[in-house]
Structure 1
Amino acid sequence: MRVSTILAAAGLLSSANAAIKGFNYGANFNNDQAKTLNDFEYEFNAAKKLPGTDGWTSARLYTMIQHGTTNTVIEAIEAAINTKTTLLLGMWASAGQGIINNEITALKAAIAKYGTAFTDLVVGISVGSEDLYRITPTGIENKSGAGAQPQDLINYVKQTRAAIKGTSLQGKPIGHVDTWTVYVNASNNAFISSLDFIGMDAYPYFQTTMANNVGSGSQLFFDAYHQTVAAAQGKPVWVTETGWPVSGQTLNQGVPSANNARIYWEDVTCQLVNDNVNLYYYILQDVQYGNPVPSFGIKPAGDLMQVSPLFDLSCPAKVS
């Protein structure tokens, strides 16, 4: 599917500028062990050396806080500085005002500690991740955990703007990451109005009420993307999570495999890259210290610098 025609409406980067390309990075491994400076540096460097790719030099974080601490700055910040990795910062917003206070404390501490070496790398700040999804009937049914109400998120965005006012982060775009389904819900329009950009998560594999075979993945994804753009009030739409699992359970017609992940990569990821859409793929590796089900990692367990990706990451030549 061609999506070039929607770029102007989406308010995305012009073709004169390269869009952002990167991966999502959690704060801890599957055994709850915190990632350290060396771990983040290793992952960021590995992403830049993936065969068949070029320019995957950005990282989306879910929190500003080092895992296992109250409000210590996450070591991914220093790793990004050391590896020249740009950052979509994340602030966890599903656990109440106390957690937001800690996130803002860590954000301010990072600015004070690292200055422009840090802030020059920041491409945006996401206040929250799938908080609205968690309070939907589907999120509750899936036991997704505590979420946040739209008005609470509006308040958190205001607090974040106040926190960066007068600092070298002032003017950086502030957005939110959530499932595409919440953006098309009119009850969230006021929250959308408070944002600078929209971060959209979409996984056709999980759309089990539809024909969700990998061959339909592109149609399902871009239908969701179009609907999100239409609901975004002219705000830029960034794709902050998408992918196809390499292993796990078959859901309806959605079959996890490396071959199917390759098909999805070519049909969706390559198309987004071709059309200059800001993109954070899920995920570089998710099999350290325990293999999640499903697994979306493009790198298997082992040495990230040496082990080959599970599927071909090259894209067809761009067609004008």
Structure 2
Amino acid sequence: MSYREEHHFSLQNLNYSENVGVDFEKYSEEDLVSLWRKTVKKGMHGICFSMYEDGQEPGDTITEEQVERRIKILKPHTKWIRSFSCIEGNEHIPRIAKKHGLKNLVGAWLGDDMEKNELEIAGLIQLAKEGCVDIAAVGNEVMYRKDLTEQQLIDYIWRVKDALKDLDIPVGYVDAYYEFSHRPAITNSCDVILANCYPYWEGCNIEHSLSHMQQMFGQAAAGGIGKKVIITETGWPSQGSSLRGAHSTAENAMKYFINAQAWSEKDNIEMFYFSSFDESWKVGAEGDVGAYWGLWDKNENLKF
């Protein structure tokens, strides 16, 4: 039976199986859009904050007004906001989110610029001491990019943990799910495992994407030696080039979001969806799909 507007949104009203997700076979395009919108309206645990409008990119300083406008759009749909940096206007995100009653996973962006790293670490500590940080992320995919050595990253993690030791704030590091089993020294330094899980980037067909994400989560959990695992990024682009069996279409983006949120609710998985708004600048290393990961388009309208 296809989804109808009058149905109350719950797993009981969906033909849902644990590894495959929702059975979309009999859904019309109209039904799929309706279910996607219902899922967005119902809300999610967390969402990654997209900072930049057209013509903006990392390095540009962003105003409080721009951040607040976007926080107000997201507020009815999420409990948590994830931010990626603590400088160049990014520091406004957790302050404004907290003002609006949202919780924050706040990241310090670390790279090979040691001076900027110091500013990021200082900014993260300052925001935490202001009461704006609920989970602190020291670095994002630093090992994947090979910007720092393991020991350099571990030193940053312990600096933040030491600075926040009286504040009861979990401190972790964000990277691809498999890094936590490959790098036990980093895992041991984290209070919480912050794992990025992207079936799309591994060329996975949409029909197997939920099962693949569950396997990713399982590997992060196994590597995490009993520590809490949070999915800090997962998503699917709505247009652009394909990657082997992973096709970037509006239909697949809607299906992936619906399945991810249904699984998150059913199994109580804490998940931050990537991303909130389309960002035109993200077409470098990611190619043309980089600009199309948002639930909202670049003009801040719901995409479907």
TM-score normalized with structure 1 length = 0.73
The residue that corresponds to 2:144 in the other structure is 133
Shift of 1:290: 8.1
The residue that corresponds to 2:188 in the other structure is 193
Per-residue CA deviations over 1:7-42 (Å, capped at 9, x if unaligned) read xxxxxxxxxxxx981211245445324332122212
The residue that corresponds to 1:8 in the other structure is none
- Within 5 Å, give how 1:76-95 maps onto structure 2: 76-95=93-112
Alpha-carbon spacing, 1:90–1:215, altered in 2? closer, same or farther (3 Å): same
The residue that corresponds to 2:91 in the other structure is 74
- Distance in 1 of aligned mates of 2:66 and 2:259: 31
- Distance in 2 of aligned mates of 1:255 and 1:230: 29
- Distance in 2 of aligned mates of 1:246 and 1:190: 37
Provide structure 1 residue ranges, at least 5 long, that are not aligned to the other structure.
4-18, 68-72, 136-146, 311-320
CA contact (8 A) 1:41 1:82 kept: no
CA contact (8 A) 2:140 2:173 kept: yes
Equivalent pairs, count: 257
Shift of 1:162: 2.2
2:288 aligns to what SS in structure 1?
coil
- Within 5 Å, give how 1:77-226 maps onto structure 2: 77-110=94-127, 115=130, 119=131, 121-135=132-146, 147-166=147-166, 170-185=167-182, 188-208=183-203, 212-226=204-218
- Distance in 1 of aligned mates of 2:96 and 2:175: 26
The residue that corresponds to 2:71 in the other structure is 44
The residue that corresponds to 2:79 in the other structure is 57
CA contact (8 A) 1:23 1:281 kept: yes
Is residue 2:298 matched to residue 1:301? yes
Shift of 1:277: 1.4
Shift of 1:242: 0.2
Shift of 1:111: 5.2
Match of 1:2 among 6, 18, 32: 18
- Distance in 2 of aligned mates of 1:184 and 1:194: 13
Alpha-carbon spacing, 1:108–1:183, altered in 2? closer, same or farther (3 Å): closer
Shift of 1:47: 1.5
The one-letter code sitting in structure 2 at the alignment partner of 1:162 is: D
Per-residue CA deviations over 1:91-111 (Å, capped at 9, x if unaligned) read 112225433321232234435
Shift of 1:81: 3.1
Is residue 2:17 matched to residue 1:22? no
89-98 vs 259-268, which deviates more? 89-98
Match of 2:223 among 231, 242, 255: 231
CA contact (8 A) 2:144 2:176 kept: yes
CA contact (8 A) 1:133 1:179 kept: yes
Per-residue CA deviations over 1:44-95 (Å, capped at 9, x if unaligned) read 221133xxxx5x131111111125xxxxx72223312332221101011222
- Distance in 2 of aligned mates of 1:280 and 1:182: 18
CA contact (8 A) 2:97 2:104 kept: yes
- Within 5 Å, give how 1:243-282 maps onto structure 2: 243-282=235-274
- Distance in 2 of aligned mates of 1:191 and 1:105: 21
- Distance in 2 of aligned mates of 1:245 and 1:259: 10
2:178 aligns to what SS in structure 1?
helix
- Distance in 2 of aligned mates of 1:290 and 1:102: 24
The one-letter code sitting in structure 1 at the alignment partner of 2:297 is: P
Alpha-carbon spacing, 1:243–1:290, altered in 2? closer, same or farther (3 Å): closer
- Distance in 2 of aligned mates of 1:111 and 1:272: 27
- Distance in 1 of aligned mates of 2:210 and 2:127: 39
